[in-house]
Amino acid sequence: MSPEEIIESTEQNEIIEDNHSRLGDEAFAGEKTIIVGLNCGQGEGDLEEAERSLDELAELVKTAGGVVVASVLQNRSTPDVAWFIGRGKLDEIIAAALELQAETLVFDDELSGSQIRNIEELTDMKVLDRTFVILDIFAGRAKTSEGKLQVELAQLQYRMSRLIGTRKALSRLGGGIGTRGPGETKLETDRRHISRRVAALKRNLNSTRERRERTRQQRHNNDALTVAVVGYTNAGKSSLMNTLCESELETADQVFATLDPVARKLMLPDGQQLILIDTVGFIRKLPHHLVEAFRSTLEEVTAADIIMHVTDVADPEAERQVQIVNELLSELKALDKPRLHVLNKADLLVEPASRSLFFDGEGVKTIQVSARTGKGLEELKELLAQTAGLGMIPLRLLIPYDKSALLSLIRDNGVIDSIDYLEAGTSVDTRVKSSVYSALADFIRLAE
Ligand SMILES: Nc1nc2c(ncn2[C@@H]2O[C@H](COP(=O)(O)OP(=O)(O)OP(=O)(O)O)[C@@H](O)[C@H]2O)c(=O)[nH]1
Ligand SMILES: [Mg+2]
């Protein structure tokens, strides 16, 4: 695709009919895979974390269409420079692969290009890492042109940094985890060609980003407060938005069902309107290239007025997931914003949730709900109204009849608690965003 073509395709950021993910999962079915993790920590917690991360990798490989036939975890004080894990361990893996007829190895950490090449040559298997698999899933899921461009950028940057390796991973077309996205012909060409493509993608994403920035600004100026719905992947963010906003966003029991941010209006019981923005789910070791490439979508989180953090309270890993989400929120400089913590899937709890989940930071209110049964959702709306109200200024106004346009400004930027038509004008008790205070200050009613 030439840069011109890219510009054209980003002009409309519409949902492109996407058969990729559906077809993809079938086309990739059955690739026998051994997953490999390395634990360099000494503590018991470290081992457990490495095991959980490996479980998650199995899930990722499955989502990408592979079949995990074995999982190997090595304890070692440092990664091996040439082989990542121990050479002896690799021999064991080769023997196991022969027996299990496995053709692919997926490592749970990012490997260097030379490690990938070394291991490929030794094992004669296709060698991938966690980042590659995540990028592959994203490539199959991206629906809008912006999402597709972002994923392609992340893939190219990732591949460019490993161009010297990946003989097998790149030399196969048509089937196999990691063969979606930029195909062989593009990757065979030299780095300069890829660099040019990367530069073109970045330019295009920049213009998309400016457009997104403008939309956001408009939303900010004329509309309700925005709430970024964030959380670990599969926590039920989209389901919760669907139940709250009566929308029909795609939900699925799998990682990364949502890639592109989608906004929906939520009318609160007090008449206030909020805009909820669904976002991509977070995960352990979210690839650096992906965070970079998805900067413009992740800025929806940075720009939101309120953060609604959703956690699957029934997941045994919930506490760790909260920690991972908070680390990413901190990177996105979003931890200081008004935040509430929603413990979802309460219907699946067999015993009470861990108490520590209820303390997610100073001033952060926590509520237990179920998007499925509707339990706790009215309280959640209350809590959202309260949180939204925190940044609002209460005013008692008298608006002359020739300034009635100000009433729409108030409605768009706040809530009217009571309204009364007097001889001198409209008397309004209201709470408004601080951004419109100066437009209204002249009409504040003085105490009678
Ligand atoms: N039992 C139960 N299941 C739920 C609840 N909320 C969501 N789910 C299920 O959890 C799975 C994930 O839900 P999604 O809404 O797709 O989760 P998400 O957080 O948007 O996930 P990503 O977009 O992949 O990050 C789906 O199978 C939902 O049906 C709930 O309250 N209770
Ligand atoms: Mg989702």
Atom of ligand 1 minimally distant from the CA of 234: 21
Q: Do domains 3-193 and 223-389 have the same CATH topology?
A: yes
CATH of segment(s) 3-193? 3.40.50.11060
Ligand 1 in reach of 36 Cβ (< 6 A): no
Residue pLDDT, tens place only, 103-153: 999 999 999 889 999 999 999 999 999 998 988 888 888 878 888 888 898
**β-strands 306-312, 225-231 pairing:** parallel
Is the confidence at residue 447, as pLDDT, over 60? no
Atom of ligand 1 minimally distant from the CA of 369: 31
pTM: 0.77
Residue 331 confidence class, pLDDT cut points 50, 70, 90 = confident
Sheet containing 414-421: which strands, arranged edge to edge?
A: 392-399, 426-433, 414-421
Ligand 1 in reach of 322 Cβ (< 6 A): no
How confident is the prediction for the chain on average, in pLDDT?
82
Ligand 2 centroid to residue 125 C-alpha, Å: 34
Measured N-to-C along each axis, helices 237-245 and 377-390 cross at an angle, to the nearest 10 degrees, of: 90
Distances, alpha carbon 231 to alpha carbons 134, 280, 298, in Å: 17, 8, 12
Ligand 1 in reach of 234 Cβ (< 6 A): yes
Superfamily of 223-389 according to CATH: P-loop containing nucleotide triphosphate hydrolases (3.40.50.300)
Residue 163 confidence class, pLDDT cut points 50, 70, 90 = low
Is the confidence at residue 27, as pLDDT, over 50? no
pLDDT score, position 108: 96
From 239, 264, 290, mutation site for ligand 1 pocket: most ligand atoms within 8 A of C-beta: 239
Atom of ligand 1 minimally distant from the CA of 348: 1
Atom of ligand 1 minimally distant from the CA of 259: 23
Measured N-to-C along each axis, helices 3-11 and 145-160 cross at an angle, to the nearest 10 degrees, of: 140
Ligand 1 in reach of 281 Cβ (< 6 A): yes
Structure tokens at 111: 């490997």
Ligand 1 in reach of 294 Cβ (< 6 A): no
Give the length of the chain: 448
Compute the distance between CA of residue 414 and CA of residue 392 in angstroms, rounded to an integer.
8
Domain-wise residue ranges, the chain: 3-193, 223-389, 392-443
From 251, 255, 298, mutation site for ligand 1 pocket: most ligand atoms within 8 A of C-beta: 251
Ligand 1 in reach of 279 Cβ (< 6 A): no
Ligand 1 centroid to residue 99 C-alpha, Å: 38
Measured N-to-C along each axis, helices 130-141 and 145-160 cross at an angle, to the nearest 10 degrees, of: 160
